[in-house]
Amino acid sequence: MHLRKRVLVTGGAGFLGSHLCEVLLNRGEHVLCLDNYFTGTRDNIAHLIGNPFFEVIRHDVTFPIYLEVDRIYNLACPASPIHYQHDPVQTTKTSVHGAINMLGLAKRLKARILQASTSEVYGDPAMHPQREEYWGHVNPIGLRSCYDEGKRCAETLFFDYHRQHQLEIKVARIFNTYGPRMHPNDGRVVSNFIIQALLGKPITIYGDGSQTRSFCYVSDLVDGLVRLMDSEADVTGPINLGNPVEFTIRELAELVIAEVGRGGSIISKPLPSDDPRQRRPDITKAESLLGWKPAIALRDGLRSTIAHFDRLLSEPGSRELMRV
């Protein structure tokens, strides 16, 4: 008889979480998907519901929960500025109380636990590209700090539980990730640009579009998370997971227009507060410790993402729900 690992994925109905649940099920794991559906949706996991080794639990990680599992992926937290700024106090609670509750569960079970941290812990970086040793340049009282500082505090808690209770921890710092099942109203550049182009609207960039980002396709990112979880116990991280190929926002807009074949004009608006000018991971540690690097080129990943949003927009009433 195959002894399946019982794996808890918090935020499992979200963009990243749903792809992770899918991969874990394909690996033969018994997956418990926990989500409060603030940004996650049942649509993201509907195709998994019939699997006898997939369970869905509606729950908010800011409250304790008692389960029996072998491993925990803690992905629960709104990750786009529009969503995490909607209720900034709750965002901080999700990062901090959520981490405390999941770490407490892991401690009781002696389970290995992975934290989905973020490149936002680097803030508007003075080091480029960003290495894990860099402590960051973060505004602690800005509009983005509920997320940035919440995730930084979560990392603190993970390492304190590791040092104080010998808990097996893994911390991944996730850079910009895109792909099918992104929330259509998350305000991120990839989803915004694709929907604007598909609707034949002008594409909106902020500032002159010279700020840079690196874009990692979701299947590459999930592969990195799984490799990190499976790595030797002394590989705690933090480890950067992202695509080191850098693009300006204007280049991304032009590429989306070319792939969609509609739209065409680009308009500019003022740069938001605390928006980082540069963002690119140094993935030397991921390459050496995990044997991981992204395989999907931006143009190829955009094609499947565009196809996903094209299908979404063809559904009745969907266009009225798009805020871009």
> What region, left, alpha or beta, does residue 123 occupy, with left being phi > 0 and alpha being psi -120 to 50 degrees?
left
User: In this structure, are residues 133 and 192 in contact, taking their beta carbons and an 8 Å threshold?
Assistant: no
Determine whether 88 is exposed, middle or buried from the number of CB atoms within 10 Å of its CB (0-12, 13-18, 19+).
Answer: middle
Active site (annotated) includes residue 178: no
192: tokens are 């915004």
E strand segments, the chain: 6-10, 30-35, 54-58, 71-74, 112-118, 169-174, 177-178, 203-206, 212-214, 216-217, 239-241, 246-248, 266-269
Distance CA 238, CA 235 (A): 9
d(CA 274, CA 223): 30
As beta bridge partners, residue 214 has: 246
Active-site choice (122, 147, 178, 217): 147
How many Å is the Cα radius of gyration of the chain? 19
Q: Are 74 and 115 in contact (CB under 8 A)?
A: yes
Active site residues: 147
